[in-house]
Structure formats: structure tokens, C-alpha cells
Structure 1
């Protein structure tokens, strides 16, 4: 019996058909690929960016449908606008260099350095010296009155002085200097020496913390707008005199002064007429101020008359300002055009600025501005003429004084200011007069009642207030605020910024480089062909698998049987 099957023949036929399908390339579909190179490349990069970026929104926009896409576009745009507004506001604030002030109350447990105290006698000149000076009869009353006006403020002098009287006084000065060539009115002349009272004549008793000391050892003469004054500087004194360690009047400074009212001109007998310079009262004016400062320019003046006891409780304010390099406006250096040995301060700079202004126009400077005595001192008549010719202008009957603004004089970076809270008592008790008389039997009770006065200066508490300028923000704070806003509005970080930068650079590269566009276009074509081939191969593999299943289940086998015949 012979059996013949067709299974192998059908299997060979299916293999040939599969090979034909795999080898066939869909050329017509490839030709139908869009030729829009740039748009396709940008779309490809955008799709990649939206699927990989850490920024909130792009993925929802790219994959959304109609209404959803419009909604997320609107949300991202609104968030972007708000983010730009916030970042612009923060950068604008930072570029404006904002500063704030911090106020601190500092307690000094080891005591506080005692300030300088400058004392000035209101009595402008000693009557006994003028009598001695006028022994020759050529020192007239007009000359004395004229010399006292050299200490007055410039505008006060110009507003109150009489031109004719100033001219007479100036002529009297010239005549006197012809006979006395060494006589001058500047700080190196007579106003600094014998015209005024010396320290021992006015400072009778000094004590600090209840312990007496010779204050004249620590007094320095100083010429002010009140004439010759004395400044108490205890920085070089013994340690117990340099600091006040306990608050209150008993731990501070006490000075008993003698006004010497008998040395005033009263116009009686052969005396000259009373002189009015800058003071309306008798006694002393004192200033509490920091070292290396001009007392009458930086401090509050406190007046006390004979027979009076004054208590000055002082408080200290310290100012620490920012320099121009750190967003501030202070300075510790003199402007380049200034040359002086004085320590820098805005008040000193302003005074020398005006002194230079007068000197450039008139060849001299008024005393009140010539604080370092580096220029010739103007006489009252010279000051009057200089103002009249170079500084004053008249418009519609109104006088205008054109003084320099001195904008180069910035405020100093570190300064200390003392404020005094004053209380007064009048008269000396009998016990006080008796105690003073025991100190010096030459002091009569009548003289002490008429001339003596007491000044008490002390710290009200062992603390001071510090005002310090600081930068209102810093670069670190600005970057932190910007980062917080980026995260709140768009979920962005520094990594996101890098991603956006790379995406924009790729888009720009595509827009401006044809070579890049061609490369991406060809790459896309190759990838699409590869995907199509993989798809067709997958279909072919599926077809072959199906054919194998059909043959195995429904195949027909033919069997032929051969039998041997019987003869």
C-alpha cells in the first residue's frame, strides 16, 4: 500500500509568500511623508520637551484635547505673567539698594567712656586786660566792640551790623596795628591769649565720682564762637577718671566755676560801654560732645548763670551707617580737593567748604568757618564786604545769600551724639558756702553767691542706643524669593531653567541651521521606515503562525495500500 501526503508542499508555498511580503518595501507610503522639514523638526523637539520637562503645564498642553488644551494654555500664560511680574519686582527692589535701620539698646557692664566737656565764659573779655592794653589810650571802645564782632556768625553779622560803624572799627584796627605790628585777631593772636580767662581763674573745684582732681591738668584751650573756651579731656587721665561705672549724679563729673562778674564792662566811671557779642545772659555755656569734634557745631549748648546749680543727665546715641560701596551714603575720607589735619565729619567738611568759598572770592575766611585756621581770618568789615559783593543778591527787594551746597560733604559713617536732660537749682545753701570757704579761705561768701555756679554731668543709665544701617536684602535672599515664586507658579527649579534653555537653543538651532533641519528630517524618515518594516515583519510573522496552525489541524493525508494478489 502506497500513502502520499501534501503537507510539505503547502508549507513551502506559505514560506515563499511570507518572503515576498517581507521583501516588499512600501515606497509609495514613504513618498507621502510630509516635506515640511522645519515644522516637523520643531514639533519633534516640542514633543520631547513636553514629555521630559519638570515644568508644570507643557505635557498637559501637548497631550490635551481642545478645551483642555485651551484651559492649560491659559493657566500657564497667567502663571508666567505673574512670575515675570514678581521677578521684575524683586530685581527692581534689589537694584534700588534698599537699606533699613536697626535699633539696639546696649548695656555697658564695664562702664561708659566719659565724653568731652567744653566750657565757655559768656564774659567776652577781661576788663583788667583792656585797661592794661589801653594804657597808651589808643585802644578805643569802637575797636573793642569791632573785635568782638569777628566771632559772630556771618549772616547774623550782615543782618545786624552797621556798615558805617564797621568801617570806623576797621580803620581803628588798622591804626592800632600800625603801632602794634604783632597784634592780630586770629586764633594765634590776642583772642587766644590774654583777652580771656585762664583755667585756674574759672575752674575752682573739680571732682569725678566724688573724688577731687586738678581739672586744669586735663583742660585744653579752644577758640569757639564764644571766644576762648576750655575742653576737659580725660582720656589720658587715670583709669578711674576715664569711665563712669555707675549711673547717677554721684558717679559723674562736678565742676564749680567762677564767672568773675567783676570783670564785666558796665559803663560806669571810666569803663567802656557793655559789649554784646553772642550772649544774652551771664555765666557759662558748656557742651557735651564726642572727641575730635567742634563743640559748638555738633552739640547742644547748655547755659547756666551764677548762683545756679545744673544737673545734666546725658544719654548716648551711636550711629553706624553704610558706606557708598555697601548701598549707603556715608564716608570716612575727606574729598580729594580738601587738605586738613582735622578728623573727617560732615560738619567739619561743611565748615571748610564754606571757608574755601569765602577764601576763593575774598582772600580770607570768617572765623566761624575757618576751623583749622589754614586761611587768613576775615575782619568783620571784610566779611561784610565779601557778602555784599559776592554772596548776596537782591531780587524784588528780597535778599538771597548764595552759599555753596557742599554736596561732596557726606555724613560720617560712625558718630556719637550726647543728649542732655537738664534740671536746675538756684542759690547756694549756707552749708555749701561754709564748705567752700573751708576749701579756700580767700573765697568770700558774697563773691561766691554772686559768681559761683555748679555744673554736674553724668550718665543717666549704663546703656546706649545704637542705630545701625543694614542692607534690606541680599543676593541670596533675592535668589531664594525668585526660586520660591518659580516653584509656586510653574513648578520650576534651576534644573527646569536648564531644560528650557536647552529646548530654546535647539529651536533656535533648527530655525537658523538648514543642515540641522536636514539631519532631523532624514533621521525622522529613517525611523519611520524602520518602524514600517518592523510592522510589516510583525504582520508577516503573525500570518505564518496562523498558516502553521491551519495546516496542522485540517491537513489531508492520502494513503495508498498495496496488496499482493493471489495467483
Structure 2
């Protein structure tokens, strides 16, 4: 009797297993996973079942290989670059800085000895300084001499007109390296180390920046410069109004005397993605808006150019151990003596160009957002060539060609939402890659928001959903069926364990 009961128990225990096999067989006949029914169907010959099993395994391996490569690609954070042209009702006018070298002529208000020092510093004459008596050499104060020369320099910007309004009272004078500069439309606060004007505070408070409401010369900025006889021209640069220009470099436009110059301006705006994205090759950019302050630029707008200029000045202080002639802060820092100035300047410039200055603050990150003023320059002589009264004059007309901004903006090629949305769409439709490429427009309309374009890019490339449809013929319904099969099998297996636990025990054993 006990033997019969044990046999019944075994048959009852095998029932869930048979049910699970039946569910798997049912799933294999109805699923959209291609080839599974041939691999599991008992009525199919063994060679054919082996063949289909091999094909399914190979397709699954290919699917996993392609998806692994796609995941690696997405993990590299690829980006797209959008170029957008927008027309505006008005544009903020750029700051304009014009510089010329400090005059090498003798100054009647300076002592003869100070004029000799200046002349020999300009030509870097070591012999002159080494031949001086000790008492004369000791009384040389290069910082004070250069400061005096800067204060005695005559202003050369004689006339300023912006949109038919006089703007001469907005002109600021400053020292940029060994050049005398005058700036228009600069909204920097008063900085005595940067400007020599005593009424600068009032000027800065009144200066809120120029606004262009129409393009063309009539609505632009016109300047008249009058140079001295020994001057060979000026250098001009356009910059953001709150940027401080401290060094004259190759970015400046060269303008010659006895010329009328027309400068057309186009405004470009660049916006790059911050870390962890890479904005410039392998380099990452720094968000410089908001509360960001770089140690080298405590005031004014941070730009890469301003940081590099400040880095060179700071590097001179660290490398030379004294203040060079073109830097600011005359009263607070020790100026370099002539020989140190001549020797150290050349070595410091070489180290700066080789990026080997020992200055920890000289880490100048690339800004994620910046404005770029592209210029077009055309020049012609002023009036009649025989007009000797204007041979040292320079006329400058600066204006916007169009009131438009060309914006270059980086956006993520794939975001989490893009990947999830693309997978859901492809799984839901059960479409293959080829079908998706042919139906991009409907899918674009189906995906709302800014990332619609990125969705299409993801759909048109080998993606998770696309590869599932291409290699396995799977859709979201297939995944649901597979999940249901797993749940049913687990439920049947648990019921089997429960029945084994509750089965009668053979007491005759």
C-alpha cells in the first residue's frame, strides 16, 4: 500500500515539471523570436533542431557583441553641434581698445638721467647700465620712471561718436604692457592701477555699455586718432565690454596713419558642454558664469585671453622676483632694476611660450561660453594725398554688418531619456533598423521636446531595440511573453517544492 502511495507522490511531483515543459513548448510555438519553435519542436528532425539552435546562439552572440560596442560608444559621451542664426532687435556693442607703443622720444618733464634710462631700457643696452657709477645705478627706479612716462603720454583719441552721440567722455586711458591704450565702451569699475584718469568712478557709473539698434555705419562707432610724428600706427582689438586688456598681442588689428578704416563686425556665440563632456578634443571647459572667480582675474569678465595675460604678469613676478615695467600696481610692488628687467624679461617670455612658468595659478580653463567678434577690415587713404595736415590721422568706423548672432552650441548626442525613449519605441513597434531609417519623420513627431533630433540619431544607428528586432525579431510583446513564462515556471517549481514537503511519509521504511 505504501508503495502505491509513493508512486502517486512521484507522479504528483513530476506533474509541475511536465507543466513547465508544456509551457516552454507552447511559448516556442507562439513567440515572435524567430527559429525558437524549430529548435524546441519535438516533431522536427534532430539535424534541423541542431541547426536552428546554432543559428539562435550565433544571432544572440552577434546581438550582444553589437550592443556592447554601442554601449561603449554611448559611454564616451558623444555630442552634436547645432549652429543657429538668430536675428535680434538690438545688440550690445563690443568694447574697443586702441593701443600704440609708448613714445621713445625724450620727455621735457623728465630728468635727463631718467630719459637716458628709458632710452637704454627700450634698446636693452646692458653696457649703459653696467658702466654707471654705483650711486647712479642705485637711484634708478624703473617702475616710477615708466609710471611718469605713462602719465605724461598725450591722449591720441581726439573724437568719439556713437550713433550720432558724442562719447568722448567715456574714453579710458590705460597701460597694456609697454603700450599706451585708450578704450571706448568699457564698463569696468574704477581701477587706478589700470587707468590714470581721476574721474574714472563717475565715468564708470555712467557707462552702461553701447547698444546698436540698427546695422551699418550710421549706427556704429566713429573714432578719430591723431598720432605724433614718430608713431607708425596703432593696434585695435574688439572685446567684451567688461574684459580688461593688459597685453598687446597678435590678435590686434594693425592700422596705419593717413587711413580711413571700415570695420564690419559679426557676432558669434559659442556654448560648449561642461565636464564630463569634452569640448575641445580631450580638453574640458569650465563654466565661468555665475559666482565663478579665477584667482588671476578677481574683477571683470573671465576670458581665456585675459587669464593668459594675467598669467604672464603673475609669472614675471614669480620668475623674476620683481615687477616688470608693463604691469600694474606701481606703489605696492618692487620694480625690477634695469639689468634684471633686461635679462629676466627675455627668459620669462621664453618660459611662458613653452608653458613652463612655475606659477600654480596659471591654470587657465577654457570657458564653456564666450563671445567672438569676427571683423572685416577695409582701408583707404584720407582725402587728398597732398593733405599734409592729416598725415598722422586715423579714422575708424566700426559697425555691425547685421543684427544677428550665430550661435554654436553643443548638445549631447545621447541622453538617458533619448536611449530609453528609443528603446521603448523600437521595442513597441518591433521594427528593424531598416524600417526605422525609412520612417524617421513620424518617429521624430512621436518624440516630443528638444531631444527629438537626438532620438532620431539614436534610432538611425545600431541601438539596443533595433538590434533586438534585427537579430532576434523581438518586440516588447516578446519580452512580456518571456517574463510571463519565467513567472509561470517559477510558480510551478515552487508548487512542486510545496507538494514534496506535504507528501505522506512511508512509516514502514
Q: Same fold (TM over 0.5)?
A: yes
| 1:372 shift after superposition | 8.3
Change (3 A) 1:240 1:375: closer
The correspondence of residues 266-345 of structure 1 with structure 2, limited to 5 A, is 282-295=232-245, 296=247, 300-324=251-275, 328=279, 329-333=284-288, 340-345=298-303
Give the aligned partner of residue 470 of structure 2.
488
SS in 1 for 2:119: helix
2:225 and 2:92 map into 1 onto residues whose CA distance is 24
Which deviates more from structure 2 when the two are superposed, residues 468-477 or residues 347-356? 347-356
Q: Between Structure 1 and Structure 2, whose CA radius of gyration is higher?
A: 1
SS in 2 for 1:256: strand
The correspondence of residues 114-513 of structure 1 with structure 2, limited to 5 A, is 114-122=93-101, 124=103, 127=106, 130-134=107-111, 137-141=112-116, 143-148=117-122, 161=124, 163-164=126-127, 174-177=137-140, 184=144, 189-194=147-152, 196-198=153-155, 202-209=156-163, 211-213=164-166, 215-233=167-185, 242-261=210-229, 264=230, 282-295=232-245, 296=247, 300-324=251-275, 328=279, 329-333=284-288, 340-364=298-322, 366=324, 378=336, 381-386=339-344, 402-403=356-357, 408-429=363-384, 446=388, 448-479=389-420, 480=422, 481-493=463-475
Change (3 A) 1:63 1:185: farther
2:366 and 2:254 map into 1 onto residues whose CA distance is 28
SS in 2 for 1:131: coil
Q: TM-score scaled to structure 1, two decimals?
A: 0.62
Per-residue Cα deviation, 1:429-484 (whole angstroms, up to 9, x for no partner): 49xx9xxxxxxxxxxx64x2332221111222222321111111211222324223
Give the aligned partner of residue 47 of structure 2.
67
SS in 1 for 2:419: helix
Identify unmatched segments of 5+ residues in structure 2.
188-203, 423-462, 505-509
Query: Contact 1:90–1:478 at 8 Å: present in 2 too?
Result: no
SS in 2 for 1:254: strand
Change (3 A) 1:327 1:310: closer
Change (3 A) 1:103 1:254: same
Query: Contact 2:142–2:338 at 8 Å: present in 1 too?
Result: no
Q: CA RMSD in A?
A: 4.7
Per-residue Cα deviation, 1:237-291 (whole angstroms, up to 9, x for no partner): 9999923333333332221211021xx4xxxxxxxxxxxxxxxx71322212222
2:149 and 2:22 map into 1 onto residues whose CA distance is 92
**How many residues were matched structurally?**
431
Structure with greater contact order relative to length (CA < 8 Å, sep ≥ 6): 1
When you count helix as a share of all residues, which structure comes out higher? 1
Query: Contact 1:256–1:452 at 8 Å: present in 2 too?
Result: yes
Change (3 A) 1:501 1:226: farther
Asked if 1:80 is matched to 2:60, the reply is: yes
Identify unmatched segments of 5+ residues in structure 1.
1-22, 150-160, 265-280, 394-398, 434-444, 527-567
1:357 and 1:346 map into 2 onto residues whose CA distance is 16
1:89 and 1:297 map into 2 onto residues whose CA distance is 49
Give the aligned partner of residue 106 of structure 1.
86
SS in 2 for 1:101: strand
Query: Contact 2:185–2:210 at 8 Å: present in 1 too?
Result: no
1:413 and 1:253 map into 2 onto residues whose CA distance is 29
| 1:218 shift after superposition | 0.6
Give the aligned partner of residue 92 of structure 1.
72
